[in-house]
Amino acid sequence: MAKIVYGVSGEGSGHSSRAREMIRHLEQLGHTVKVASYDRGYNNLEPDFDVFEIEGLHTASSDNRVSKVKTFTDNLQRLSQGHKKLQALRKNIFKQFPASFQVIDSKKNALSMPLLFLCPLIWKIAMCAFYLCHFDYTE
């Protein structure tokens, strides 16, 4: 069966709620799944799955509106910690667990992941993506 790294956005609970059902289904099919998430996604999934905590991008708001400046500065301040966690992710997950492919349930960092870890990517924007896709892999 496949070895899957499943990256989940940690902002809010929507991505982790959908991912919970997908991960459960993938594991029931016999696949081995390692999850990477942050913030609420990490907190929601960690009790039930093998989850590696990463640093993620956050959207900052002020007066119920997105603040572009605060979003930029807050994420910039986390850059150093994010780099350390990315190196740990590479060492602890991708080198020790050679993935058959990745699933990314996130809007913000999905495009950078396959470049960093050089394995095929399924970018899950909507649930229907899994019903429409067939992926052959070699073990």
pLDDT in tens, 80-90: 887 788 788 77
Q: Please count the CA atoms within 13 angstroms of the CA of 58 that sit on its side-chain side.
A: 17
Which residue, 69, 125, 137, is CA-closest to 98? 137
**Is the model's pLDDT at 107 over the cut of 80?**
no
Name the band, by pLDDT with cuts 50, 70 and 90, for residue 111: very low
Superfamily designation of domain 3-132 = Glycogen Phosphorylase B; (3.40.50.2000)
The pTM of this model reads 0.72
Specify whether the CB–CB gap between 126 and 103 falls below 8 A: no
**Beta-carbon neighbour count of residue 53 at 10 Å?**
18
Specify whether the CB–CB gap between 36 and 54 falls below 8 A: yes
Name the band, by pLDDT with cuts 50, 70 and 90, for residue 128: very low
**Beta-carbon neighbour count of residue 85 at 10 Å?**
19
Q: What residue spans define the domains of the chain?
A: 3-132
